[in-house]
């Protein structure tokens, strides 16, 4: 059945009614899921198999039938492992219907349909009894309910229910237990992902500097309540200073009844060096057996021994938590780190001893909530972008080139500080458009804190709805933007700036300056170190045929052609350039959006040996003739082609449908041809790539 879905187009800004299959959201969830990543995680699969075999053996040694309950079965892989290990029967629970349907087919294809029952329910709705979903309770509980934060997918309430209703009085659990670790660090870089730091703007004359500061509510805000999951191994060790050893914060024993009630766990430590406690790095490991001899760990490479053997995975990463405030600590002076959790979320606090020997009162038993609204508008990379002084200096230099004493500026970007720069550099009048009430309120508080509320007027309107009264009957002589919009996912979605510029054409003066004056789309063929795994066919996994999963993902990816390019923060995912970067298309903001499509065809010559996994695309913004800001490739770091990417924006990755690699030393592709088309009516960019031998 087809349904009409209303969606705001992130590029054009228009609200569109699109006819979609009723399962569109399901298809997209499958397409963007980590199923392939999990199935390719050999370390995870082997450890689960070892743990399952050991659990089945323990049950058999007691003279019992091995009845397995597999919660969150996915493809049914762990259930099939259990039967291969000697289990008698398995109840496999999968709440996501499309996945449950595929699991049934995979189980049947592998010859286990008589021994595995797929139950399409949430585990807390499963019943036991002659008329229930399960004929009897299980004595082996297998689960894969974990996310990067361990408990973020509802593991605790699911375990609590299963222990009470779905398993026998004595049960084996795989995994057997989990341990959560933490390390207290000082990190200017990571702290800049959570707080807006003061910055200085030199006046037009250069005689004085104005310091721009966040408002007090923002400074004291505990931040967003969600974890920042990250490929921590890609953060350079020079970017943080450890203030503690790695601390074992708490354990969850899955072979005993688990509680989902809020709890706190305290560990006392002595700082290894003095500094400001700002950030908590955290990860976990799981023991698959009671003795802890089968361990699967998420620790980053600098903890792992040897470092080069650390398994890569994207479905489980590491966590960055931000303390509500910086806490100065002294080397050797005892401090308490507290880990708090409810049924879905973790957070941390520092507790120091008072001078009288008593403990400082801890008020962190409730989950931290953003009070300043900034964390509702800006995500972690956006905070980092706003705190990037080098980037801000590029905008300052560009504005200094174009601004005059009588300049009337209009800024269109979400939550931008460019209006502050424009005012400090001498613009006569500055207007800024904010699409939402949240961004409007936030920026007004920001301007007021810096005594700019009379100098910068905030307009809460869509650009096409602006009228002369909003602009105080003035013509705009300088139209500016970063561009940055919170609804943008792919790099070209920020071309909304072009549509906004077109919408305000009647409010611009003759020869108005547009900054940036243009943007260019760039691309490059790359070989990924690991990211290719998330889209690589699984086929056979640990001896089981799961190729139906490949078909399901492929169909979902093809469900909507505009989704072929995916956004990824490539600074976390190393890759090598196999071609030189190439400018594929340019968008001239000095002109209005054209009626006709813009097309580009050509090829990229392969200059290095390697496997062509896909093409990376990004935007570069030309502020003036000689000042350009890149949101993608910063540089190719060495002769091997290793790339350095902007950490503030996601780049677009187009995974080739079939990997392009040399067939023999004599037969290999020499170029990758491309065809790219920008449709101004939809704001979408279509693309095709093929190899040339």
Instruction: Give the residue numbers marked as catalytic.
Output: 144, 153
Q: Which of 613, 604, 601 is nearest to 582 (CA)?
A: 604
The span from the CA of 319 to the CA of 532, in Å, is 22
* Contact of 138 with 69, CB cutoff 8 Å: yes
Cβ partners under 8 Å of residue 63, min gap 6: none
DSSP 415: T
Which one, of 553, 555, 560, 508, lies nearest residue 682 by Cα?
A: 560
* Rounded Cα–Cα distance for residues 371 and 655 (Å): 40
Give, as one character, the DSSP assignment of residue 507. Answer: G
Phi and psi based region of residue 683 (left: phi greater than 0; alpha: psi -120 to 50; beta: remaining):
left
Longest dimension (CA), the chain: 90
Query: What does the alpha-carbon distance between residue 490 and residue 652 come to, in Å, rounded to a whole number?
Result: 6
Rg (CA), the chain: 28
Query: Do 447 and 457 touch, CB atoms closer than 8 A?
Result: no
- Give the integer Cα–Cα distance in Å for 281 and 337: 12
CA distances from 463 to 14, 17, 271, 471 (A): 12, 21, 52, 12
**What residues are paired with 350 via a beta bridge?**
337
Distance CA 636, CA 642 (A): 6
Taking CA atoms, 58 is separated from 79, 139, 178, 279, 290, in Å, by: 17, 11, 20, 42, 11
Q: How many residues does the chain have?
A: 693
Q: What is the dihedral of CA 374, 375, 380, 384, to 10 degrees?
A: 20
Report d(CA 514, CA 512) in Å as an integer: 6
Cis peptide before 175 (omega within 30 of 0): yes
Separation in Å, CA 631 to CA 213, 621, 635 = 25, 8, 12
Backbone angles phi, psi at 66, to 5 degrees: -90, 105
Residue 165 per-residue DSSP state: I
Three-state secondary structure call for residue 156: helix
End-to-end CA distance of the chain: 44
Provide the 3-class DSSP secondary structure of residue 80: helix
In angstroms, the CA 674 to CA 602 distance is 6
Distance (Å, whole) CA 68 – CA 543? 20
């Amino acid at each position: 059945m087809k349904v009409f879905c209303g969606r705001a187009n992130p590029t054009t800004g228009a609200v569109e009614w699109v006819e979609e299959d009723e399962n569109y959201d399901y298809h997209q969830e499958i397409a963007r899921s980590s199923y392939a990543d999990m199935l390719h995680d050999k370390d995870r699969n082997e450890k689960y198999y070892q743990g399952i075999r050991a659990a089945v053996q323990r049950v058999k040694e007691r003279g019992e039938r091995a009845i397995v309950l597999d919660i969150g079965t996915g493809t049914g892989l762990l259930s099939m492992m259990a039967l291969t290990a000697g289990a008698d029967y398995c109840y496999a629970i999968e709440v996501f219907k499309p996945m449950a349907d595929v699991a049934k087919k995979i189980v049947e294809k592998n010859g286990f349909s008589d021994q595995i029952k797929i139950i399409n329910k949430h585990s807390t709705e499963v019943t036991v009894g002659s008329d229930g979903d399960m004929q009897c309770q299980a004595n082996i509980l297998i689960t894969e309910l974990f996310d990067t934060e361990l408990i973020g997918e509802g593991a605790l309430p699911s375990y609590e229910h299963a222990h009470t209703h779905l398993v026998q009085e004595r049960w084996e659990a795989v995994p057997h237990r989990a341990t959560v670790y933490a390390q207290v660090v000082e990190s200017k870089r990571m702290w800049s992902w959570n707080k807006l730091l003061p910055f200085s703007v030199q006046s037009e004359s250069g005689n004085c500097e104005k310091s721009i500061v966040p408002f007090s509510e923002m400074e004291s805000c505990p931040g967003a309540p969600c974890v920042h999951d990250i490929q921590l191994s890609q953060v350079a060790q020079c970017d943080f200073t450890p203030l503690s050893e790695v601390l074992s914060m708490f354990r969850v024993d899955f072979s005993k009844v688990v509680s989902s009630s809020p709890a706190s766990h305290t560990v006392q430590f002595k700082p290894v060096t003095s500094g400001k406690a700002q950030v908590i790095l955290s990860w976990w490991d799981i023991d698959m057996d009671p003795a802890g001899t089968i361990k699967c760990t998420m620790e980053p490479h600098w903890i792992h021994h040897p470092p080069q053997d650390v398994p890569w995975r994207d479905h489980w990463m590491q966590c960055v938590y931000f303390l509500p405030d910086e806490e100065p600590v002294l080397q050797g002076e005892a401090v308490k780190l507290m880990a708090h959790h409810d049924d879905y979320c973790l957070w941390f606090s520092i507790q120091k001893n008072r001078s009288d020997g008593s403990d400082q009162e801890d008020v962190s038993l409730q989950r931290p909530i953003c009070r300043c609204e900034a964390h509702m508008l800006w995500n972690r990379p956006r905070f980092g972008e706003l705190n990037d002084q080098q980037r801000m200096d590029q905008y300052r230099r560009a504005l200094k080139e174009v601004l005059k004493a009588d300049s009337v500026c209009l800024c269109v970007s979400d939550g931008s500080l460019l209006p502050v720069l424009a005012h400090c550099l001498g613009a006569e009048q500055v207007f800024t458009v904010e699409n939402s009430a949240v961004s409007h309120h936030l920026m007004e508080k920001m301007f007021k804190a810096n005594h700019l509320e009379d100098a910068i007027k905030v307009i809460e309107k869509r650009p096409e709805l602006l009228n002369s009264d909003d602009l105080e009957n003035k013509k705009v002589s300088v139209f500016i933007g970063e561009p940055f919009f919170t609804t943008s996912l792919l790099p070209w979605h920020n071309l909304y700036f072009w549509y906004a510029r077109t919408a305000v054409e009647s409010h611009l003066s003759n020869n108005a300056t547009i900054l940036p004056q243009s943007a260019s789309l760039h691309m490059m063929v790359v070989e990924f170190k690991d990211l290719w795994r998330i889209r690589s066919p699984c086929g056979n996994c640990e001896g089981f045929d799961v190729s139906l999963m490949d078909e399901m993902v492929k169909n979902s990816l093809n469900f909507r052609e505009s989704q072929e390019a995916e956004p990824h923060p490539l600074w976390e995912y190393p890759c090598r350039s196999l071609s030189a970067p190439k400018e594929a298309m340019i968008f001239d903001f000095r002109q209005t959006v054209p009626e006709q499509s813009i097309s580009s065809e050509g090829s990229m010559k392969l200059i290095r040996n390697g496997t062509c996994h896909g093409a990376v695309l990004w935007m570069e913004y030309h502020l003036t003739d000689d000042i350009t800001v890149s949101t993608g490739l910063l540089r190719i770091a060495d002769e091997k082609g290793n790339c350095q990417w902007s950490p503030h924006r996601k780049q677009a990755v187009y995974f080739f449908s079939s990997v392009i690699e040399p067939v023999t030393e004599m037969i290999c592709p020499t170029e990758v041809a491309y065809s790219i088309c920008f449709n101004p009516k939809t704001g979408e960019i279509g693309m095709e790539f093929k190899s040339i031998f």
